[in-house]
Structure 1
Amino acid sequence: MQFNSYIFILCFLPLSLILYFLFHDMGKKKMAMTSLLLMSLWFYGYFNPYYLAIICSSIVVNYLLSRAMSIYRRPCLIAGVLFNVGLIFYFKYYDFFIENVNSVFGTGFNLRHIVLPLGISFFTFQQISFIVDSYKGETGDYSFLEYALFVSYFPQLVAGPIVLHSELIPQFRDEKKHRINFENLCRGIMLFSRGLAKKMLIADTFGKAVDFGFSQAALIPVGEGALTIPEIIIVMLSYTFQIYFDFSGYSDMATGLGAMFNLDIPMNFNSPYKAISIAGFWKRWHMTLTRFLTNYIYIPLGGNRKGKLRTYINTLVVFLVSGIWHGANWTFILWGVFHGLFQCINKLTHGIYKSVCDNAAKLPAGKVFAGIIKTVSWIITFGILNVLWLLFRADSVEQWLQILRRLFVLNLDVRSELIEGFRIPRFRYVLSALHLPDADNVVLLTGCALSMIAALLICLCCKNNYERKYKTDAVSLVFTWVILMVCIVSMSSISTFLYFNF
């Protein structure tokens, strides 16, 4: 089920809230949790009931292994990690592995064309963290109901954040959170509405240009009709903003939904395009994935405790895992490797950068020089992110390279089909009144440029929704209901969140 659908907003969410708090008001805590668990399973299995067998069996196996940990600690740890990794491998990477075996060795093994269950990368990582923490003796005496709800809780189930047991299960037990809190409810609706607007009104607009651009890149990679220089730049920036507002919107909606149930969901997105280094970007983008990779892979490998060379190797391993986690394609693997390399370069040059900034600050116009250095660092970082997002979105490494090669073929044409989604109604009359060119292509290009500038300003100048203070005054409430109604009216077709594919 999608957050941006009529059945979720008008039926599923109100029913979930009513049942959860009604049972708590009746003093039936287990019934309240059971109702939320059943609603979460309905949410997960809405499009494909087959998914329920996978997640339910995964929950049962992991819970039993955690309970047996007190007797067979190491065997249960190994079995738990192998089970969860094996589950991801089979459903997500089996065909990719067989394809590469056939390609390298000339074999003819059949592909199974396995349907990828939604959110499997998220709930398996979540359960790996639980198994490892159980091995360390850091988990409590949780009931099966508490554990099943922790894994399947619908706001974070399909696209994160990757929540730890210590962050969610104690909240299920906190009696202060069992009664409806109208302040939290209002804040949750505001967060949800703003996230929905990010997804539907911003991300989906840029997504139209991305879809058209890559459809052309797939059909006509070279020669007449191929993407031109400005078209590549438009497609690249469009995807950069699409994935930002899509994932940011989902994170806001998940946090808002949690607030409606009086549950705090950890921050997962912190204005990542404000970063002035790749290392800074990963401290802001998909923060709970970075936390998982740091705590459960980087640190166990030795972290930065075993010398510089080992630190760089551990960093590369972590980002290789991150790339593989995102998808079964060499584009994701190469994307992870590149991020790992830039992370290592950042570690190598951090001392020099800090020294230059400190020395610049001592000059008469120190603040100006320091500002220039940070601006240049941001431009380089943002440029790298754009090129790597293009790789992330490409169907193949070859397609990515082909698109980059087209940047050296002089052609400045822009097809109207690419930028049709940026059309501003009646904007031609504004240009005409200002005695500016008002040809249709000019209108579309101007709308495209204004959309890009507005998106960049939102990314760089606005506070993220986690940092905002939500007031229940008339202006805030009216604004919230207006954008919520606009989104609901605009819900003619349901577009999938990008991270549902991972």
Structure 2
Amino acid sequence: FTPLHLLLPLGISFFTFTQIAFLVDSYKGKVKEYSFINYILFVTFFPHLIAGPILHHGEMMPQFKDHNNNKVNFSNILSGLCIFSIGLIKKVIIADTFAVFAQEGYSPGYVHDFYSAWATSLSYTFQLYFDFSGYCDMAIGAALLFNIMLPINFNSPYKAVDIQDFWRRWHITLGRYLRDYIYIPLGGNRLSPFRTYFNLFFTFTIAGLWHGASWLFVLWGAMHGAALIIHRAWKATGMRMYKPIAWFITFMFVNISWVFFRSESFGQASTILSNMFTISNMRNISLEQLPLNDLSRYGQIAGWVAKNISYGIAAYSSVFIMSAIALLCCSLKNSQEIIIGQRIGYFKIVILAFISSLAVYLSLHSESAVFLYFNF
């Protein structure tokens, strides 16, 4: 065992948020139950502590009080294991694979071209989603083993066709918390349009600051606040946008905003973004200009293709693969649609058991596993 040298406990924001909500609702007379044991269980319920979702006492404490939840429920156990397996697969097989590209691309002093800049930004966009979504799936699955249903925190956010739709799908419990305890108390949309815009901007700036004491987090939150203002103003005009175009604009904005969220400095973020949109960099890099080990920026397969076939094909393939995964996210069902309310047949169980066993094996033999919540 090696000490982590952490200044604060992991997940402190999640269990702090739950207690703030409890105190505020107690002050407003909305709390119906004050059982000390159930309150302690609500705050310390282990599945959600590290990475969420953010729990609300109104949806949790009645479940602890329900005596039917004291009985073994094999249907919940099966559903819980399946959802946990999907989360484990997301984290270990998908997120940690993207993490290799993201860590390399965001390392200090890394020299980018057009292709590596796109590979880096898209890698973190998908790493963050599959990491966070995977942990939340594992939390929901673990809780179901005890007959406790945690709130769904992700609903295929990269399918969103506008920024408001994105925040209805991404980190749903954070959005709900910000709405109930910051946006609505500020006046919500009950006041003038200007005040509504201010409330949106301020709320999401606070959302950025919640992730850590960094101006880049604040900038990320402010970007989303500004985007929501633009979206609201656009809706007020009554105009509509063709859905594929709306999806593309939304996804590209989210991808660009994650660059600021992940970067170590504003300079690094601006370098990556400038290379993403400098078309001339597509032709300025040749195989002879790069050491062979630098081709690892595109992964082992792309590196082999670059060395033995064509650098151009390797570079294009890295961007193509990332883009294909984006389309895949938009076409597949999420874990809730696969498991909750659906028949779980033998074939589905066997497939999940095999892939999750592979994920466990990889996690035990990997030295590159990343835990993103050290940063937040």
Q: Give the TM-score of the pair, scaled to structure 2.
A: 0.89
In the alignment, what sits opposite 1:356? Answer: 239
Residues 1:454 and 1:230: Cα distance change in structure 2 (over 3 Å): closer
Residues 1:287 and 1:421: Cα distance change in structure 2 (over 3 Å): farther
Please tell me the residue identity of whatever aligns with 2:41. L
SS at match of 2:132: helix
For the residues of structure 2 that align with 1:242 and 1:190, how far apart are their CA atoms? 21
In the alignment, what sits opposite 1:480? Answer: 352
In the alignment, what sits opposite 1:404? Answer: 273
| Rg comparison, structure with higher value | 1
Stretches of structure 2 that go unaligned for 5 or more consecutive residues are 287-293
For the residues of structure 2 that align with 1:136 and 1:420, how far apart are their CA atoms? 55
1:439 matched to 2:281? The reply is: no
- Give the C-alpha shift of residue 203 in structure 1: 1.0
Instruction: State the Cα deviation string for residues 202-256 of structure 1 (Å, max 9, x = none).
Output: 11111101111111xx225xxxxx2111110111111111111111111111111
Alignment of structure 1 residues 374-453 onto 2, 5 Å: 374-406=243-275, 407-408=277-278, 410-412=280-282, 413=285, 415-420=294-299, 439=309, 441=311, 445=315, 448-449=318-319, 451-453=321-323
Moved over 6 A (4+): 46-50
Paired residue for 1:134, among 26, 36, 39?
26
Say if 1:276 and 1:378, in contact at 8 Å, map to a contact too.
yes
- Give the C-alpha shift of residue 411 in structure 1: 2.6
1:265 matched to 2:150? The reply is: yes
Quick check: 320-329 or 489-498, which moved more? 489-498
For the residues of structure 1 that align with 2:184 and 2:174, how far apart are their CA atoms? 14
In the alignment, what sits opposite 2:71? Answer: 179
For the residues of structure 2 that align with 1:128 and 1:410, how far apart are their CA atoms? 51
Q: How many residues matched? A: 361
For the residues of structure 1 that align with 2:119 and 2:370, how far apart are their CA atoms? 22
In the alignment, what sits opposite 1:277? Answer: 162
- Give the C-alpha shift of residue 356 in structure 1: 3.5
For the residues of structure 2 that align with 1:468 and 1:398, how far apart are their CA atoms? 42
- Give the C-alpha shift of residue 439 in structure 1: 2.3
SS at match of 1:155: helix
Say if 1:203 and 1:243, in contact at 8 Å, map to a contact too.
yes
Stretches of structure 1 that go unaligned for 5 or more consecutive residues are 1-45, 51-113, 221-225, 358-369, 429-436
1:148 matched to 2:33? The reply is: no
Please tell me the residue identity of whatever aligns with 1:302. G
- Give the C-alpha shift of residue 405 in structure 1: 3.1
Say if 1:276 and 1:377, in contact at 8 Å, map to a contact too.
yes
- Give the C-alpha shift of residue 317 in structure 1: 0.9
Paired residue for 2:10, among 107, 110, 118?
118
For the residues of structure 1 that align with 2:28 and 2:265, how far apart are their CA atoms? 41
Please tell me the residue identity of whatever aligns with 2:83. L
Alignment of structure 1 residues 92-241 onto 2, 5 Å: 115-215=7-107, 218-220=108-110, 226-241=111-126
Residues 1:161 and 1:343: Cα distance change in structure 2 (over 3 Å): same
In the alignment, what sits opposite 2:372? Answer: 498
Please tell me the residue identity of whatever aligns with 2:281. N
In the alignment, what sits opposite 1:344? Answer: 229
Say if 1:240 and 1:386, in contact at 8 Å, map to a contact too.
yes
Say if 1:329 and 1:396, in contact at 8 Å, map to a contact too.
no
RMSD: 2.5
Residues 1:453 and 1:306: Cα distance change in structure 2 (over 3 Å): closer
Say if 1:422 and 1:451, in contact at 8 Å, map to a contact too.
no
For the residues of structure 2 that align with 1:145 and 1:401, how far apart are their CA atoms? 50
For the residues of structure 2 that align with 1:409 and 1:143, how far apart are their CA atoms? 62
SS at match of 1:335: helix
For the residues of structure 2 that align with 1:497 and 1:177, how far apart are their CA atoms? 32
For the residues of structure 2 that align with 1:235 and 1:134, how far apart are their CA atoms? 46
Paired residue for 2:361, among 486, 489, 494?
489
**Higher relative CO (CA 8 A, sep ≥ 6), structure 1 or 2?**
2
Paired residue for 1:467, among 334, 337, 340?
337
1:324 matched to 2:198? The reply is: no
Please tell me the residue identity of whatever aligns with 2:135. Y
Residues 1:312 and 1:116: Cα distance change in structure 2 (over 3 Å): same
Instruction: State the Cα deviation string for residues 42-65 of structure 1 (Å, max 9, x = none).
Output: xxxx98799xxxxxxxxxxxxxxx
Residues 1:300 and 1:230: Cα distance change in structure 2 (over 3 Å): same
Please tell me the residue identity of whatever aligns with 1:169. M
Please tell me the residue identity of whatever aligns with 1:417. S
Please tell me the residue identity of whatever aligns with 2:337. E
For the residues of structure 2 that align with 1:450 and 1:178, how far apart are their CA atoms? 50
SS at match of 1:356: coil
